[in-house]
Structure 1
């Protein structure tokens, strides 16, 4: 029995991002990233699962 192939994400746990359509969510930190499914913990929105095929998360720098 072979294991399924997991798509590589553009993001890795620990990366900081912003959601371009939800600027009020604040800075987010990637918790997990498998293919297009990226779980992000945002400052003002909590944990959110983002489909990067639909939303292009923006890489962010930490001040």
Structure 2
């Protein structure tokens, strides 16, 4: 199950996907400072995402 999650509510440890880069695979939020979210993706490594531009999709376990 997944849903687009407001950037302001993302916390370290949450699992997400980048809707514009599905090839990056599953990512774990490392930190969030304002709209800047650092995510460690399984196939792209650490990426800094601008949450004002990209709405990450939160991945929830069923």
TM score, norm. by length of structure 1 = 0.81
In 1, Cα distance between equivalents of 2:33 and 2:56:
14
Aligned residues of 1:31 and 1:41 also touching (Cα < 8 A): yes
Question: What RMSD in Å do the two structures reach over aligned CA positions?
Answer: 1.7
In 1, Cα distance between equivalents of 2:32 and 2:61:
19
More helix per residue: 2
1:34, distance to aligned residue in structure 2 (A): 1.4
1:62, distance to aligned residue in structure 2 (A): 4.9
TM score, norm. by length of structure 2 = 0.83
> After the TM superposition, which segments of 4 or more aligned residues of structure 1 sit over 2 Å from their partners?
none
- The structure having more radius of gyration, on CA atoms, is 1
Q: How many residues align?
A: 56
More strand per residue: 2
Q: Describe the superposition over 1:3-58 as per-residue Cα deviations: whole angstroms up to 9, x where unpaired.
A: xxxxx822000000000000000000000011110000000000000001000000
Aligned residues of 1:16 and 1:62 also touching (Cα < 8 A): no
